C-alpha cells in the first residue's frame, strides 16, 4: 500500500491533506485522562505540516447517537493536540457544515484544523453505502479533489465508515506511519513468529474473545487466560466461581476448548476475591477452584502471576490483550501489573494489543519503552489476528 513517504515525495506544500486519526481518548469531564492516542497521532501530522501541507483532521470520540452531543465534543482534544504541536489547532463546530468550510477555507500552509466529532453525523456509521458515500463526498468537497487522504487511525480500520473507507475510494489514499507500523507488527505475529509464542488474553467476556481464541490456539505455544472471562473457563472445569462474572451460555464452548487444547490453555491457580465490587471491599486470596459463595473474583492471585511470569520469561514472542483484573481499582491491579512487568522484563518481541491493556501500561506507570510495540487499536488488532478483513486496510491496498 502507498504510505506517508509516497505522498510526501509527491509534494504536499499548500495542498490539503485529509487525515483520519484515532483520537478517541478517555475523558473525565473535559479533562483527558490518557492522551496516548493524541501523542500517537503526532508523528504523521508533524511530518505533513513540516512539509507545508494544510492538514484537516477527522476523528471520533465516544458513541454519540449520530447527533451533536457536548459530552463528546473534540474541544479538549483540539486543545491537547495544539499543546503538543506547539501551535493552535482550529476546531470546526460541525463536521461538514458552514463552520467546517470556514475553518478549512482559512487554513494556512503548515497548519492543522480539526473537524468536530465525525460521529455527530449519522452518515459516518451508516450501513447504507449511499448514505456513507454522501458524507464522504461532503468531506472531499471540504478539501477539494486535488487533496490527498492519509489513513492513520488504526483503531478504526476495522470499521467500514465514511471517514475511514469511503473517503479512501474518492481521493488518492495513503497509509499513515501509525497504520503502517501496526500492520507490519501484526503481520509478524500472523507470519512465522519466534517461539515460544505466548498470547495473554484478559477482559470480561469469553464471547468477546472467542474468535481470536479459536484463531490463535492452533498457532501459539501457550494461551494465558485472565480477567473476568477466566471464570467461565474455571466453571467449565466444574469449579464453583461464586458471584464471579460467568457466561453460562459459553460453558460448553469453553469446555470444548479445554478438551481440545488443554495443553496450551493456562488458567489462574488462585484469585483475589471480594465481597462486593468496590476498591474498599473485603478481600481474600483463594484457590481458583474454591471461590466462596457470595464472593466474586476481581483479579488473578500472586501464585497465578508467578506461573504466568515463568511462561512469559521463556517466550520469544508475546501478544497481550486485556487486563487480568479490575485494574482501575488499585486493590485489584496487582495481577495486571505483575503480568505487564513480566512481559516488559522478558527478552521477547512483545506487542500490547491496545484498548485496556495499553491504558493499563500507562495507568500503572510502567515504562512504555520496555515493550516492543503498544497498539492503538484493541478491536482492530484482535480482528487482524483473527484473520478478518479490515476494510480500512483493504481499501488502502486497492481491494474495494
Whether residue 110 lies in the annotated active site: no
Decide: helix, strand or coil at residue 313.
helix
Decide: helix, strand or coil at residue 12.
coil
**CA 233, CA 230: separation in Å to the nearest integer?**
5
Q: Which of 79, 170, 205, 341 is flagged as catalytic?
A: 205
Q: Which of 66, 110, 313, 379 is flagged as catalytic?
A: 379
The annotation places the binding site at 22-24, 37, 60-63, 119, 159, 209, 297, 328, 354-357
Whether residue 37 lies in the annotated active site: yes
**CA 144, CA 328: separation in Å to the nearest integer?**
45
The annotation places the binding site for (2R)-3-phosphoglycerate at 37, 119, 159
> Positive or negative, the Cα torsion across 155, 158, 161, 167?
positive
- Per-residue DSSP letters for 354-381? SHHHHHHHHHTT--GGGSSEE-S-HHHH
Q: Which residues of 135-163 are buried (b: 16+ CB within 10 A; e: fewer)?
A: bbebbbebbeeebbbbbbbbbbbbbbbbb
Whether residue 355 lies in the annotated active site: yes
Long-range contacts of 79-84 (CB under 8 A, 24+ apart): 80/25, 80/32, 80/35, 80/38, 81/23, 81/38, 81/41, 81/45, 81/57, 81/112, 81/114, 82/112, 84/35, 84/38, 84/39, 84/42
**CA 43, CA 176: separation in Å to the nearest integer?**
9
The annotation places the binding site for substrate at 22-24, 37, 60-63, 119, 159
Establish whether the linkage from the previous residue to 9 is cis, with ω within 30° of 0: no
- Per-residue DSSP letters for 23-90? ----EETTEES--HHHHHHHHHHHHHHHTT-EEEEE---S---SS--GGG-SHHHHHHHHHHHTS--E
Whether residue 160 lies in the annotated active site: no
The annotation places the binding site for ATP at 209, 297, 328, 354-357
Q: Which of 37, 47, 264, 337 is flagged as catalytic?
A: 37
Q: Which of 355, 377, 378, 392 is flagged as catalytic?
A: 355
Joined grid coordinates for residue 241: 466461581
Residues that are catalytic: 37, 205, 355, 379
Amino acid at each position: 500500500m502507498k504510505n506517508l513517504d509516497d505522498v510526501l515525495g509527491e509534494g504536499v506544500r499548500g495542498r490539503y491533506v485529509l487525515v483520519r486519526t484515532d483520537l478517541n481518548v478517555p475523558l473525565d469531564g473535559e479533562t483527558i485522562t490518557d492522551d496516548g492516542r493524541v501523542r500517537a497521532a503526532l508523528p504523521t501530522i508533524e511530518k505533513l505540516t513540516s512539509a507545508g501541507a494544510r492538514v484537516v483532521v477527522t476523528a471520533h470520540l465516544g458513541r454519540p447517537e449520530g447527533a451533536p452531543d457536548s459530552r463528546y465534543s473534540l474541544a479538549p482534544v483540539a486543545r491537547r493536540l495544539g499543546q503538543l504541536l506547539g501551535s493552535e489547532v482550529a476546531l470546526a463546530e460541525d463536521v461538514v457544515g458552514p463552520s467546517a468550510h470556514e475553518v478549512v477555507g482559512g487554513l494556512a500552509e503548515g497548519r492543522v484544523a480539526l473537524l468536530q466529532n465525525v460521529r455527530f453525523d449519522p452518515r459516518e456509521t451508516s450501513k447504507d453505502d449511499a448514505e456513507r458515500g454522501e458524507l464522504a463526498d461532503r468531506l472531499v468537497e471540504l478539501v477539494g479533489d486535488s487533496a490527498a487522504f492519509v489513513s492513520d487511525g488504526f483503531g478504526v480500520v476495522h470499521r467500514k465508515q465514511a471517514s475511514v473507507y469511503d473517503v479512501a475510494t474518492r481521493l488518492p489514499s495513503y497509509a499513515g506511519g501509525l497504520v503502517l507500523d501496526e500492520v507490519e507488527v501484526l503481520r509478524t505475529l500472523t507470519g512465522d513468529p519466534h517461539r515460544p509464542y505466548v498470547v495473554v488474553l484478559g477482559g470480561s467476556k469469553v464471547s468477546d474473545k472467542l474468535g481470536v481464541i479459536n484463531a490463535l490456539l492452533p498457532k501459539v505455544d501457550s494461551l494465558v487466560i485472565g480477567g473476568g472471562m477466566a471464570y467461565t473457563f474455571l466453571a467449565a472445569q466444574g469449579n464453583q466461581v461464586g458471584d464471579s462474572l460467568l457466561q453460562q451460555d459459553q460453558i460448553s464452548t469453553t469446555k470444548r476448548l479445554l478438551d481440545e487444547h488443554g495443553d496450551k490453555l493456562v488458567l489462574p491457580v488462585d484469585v483475589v476475591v471480594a465481597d462486593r465490587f468496590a476498591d474498599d471491599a473485603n478481600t481474600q486470596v483463594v484457590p481458583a477452584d474454591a471461590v466462596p459463595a457470595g464472593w466474586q473474583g476481581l483479579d488473578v492471585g500472586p501464585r497465578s502471576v508467578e506461573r504466568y511470569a515463568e511462561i512469559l520469561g521463556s517466550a520469544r514472542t508475546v501478544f497481550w490483550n486485556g487486563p487480568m483484573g479490575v485494574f482501575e481499582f488499585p486493590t485489584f491491579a496487582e495481577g495486571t501489573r505483575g503480568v505487564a512487568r513480566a512481559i516488559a522484563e522478558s527478552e521477547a518481541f512483545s506487542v500490547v494489543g491496545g484498548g485496556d491493556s495499553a491504558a493499563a501500561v500507562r495507568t500503572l506507570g510502567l515504562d512504555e519503552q520496555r515493550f516492543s510495540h503498544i497498539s492503538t487499536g484493541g478491536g482492530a488488532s484482535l480482528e487482524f489476528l483473527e484473520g478478518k478483513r479490515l476494510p480500512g486496510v483493504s481499501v488502502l491496498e486497492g481491494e474495494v
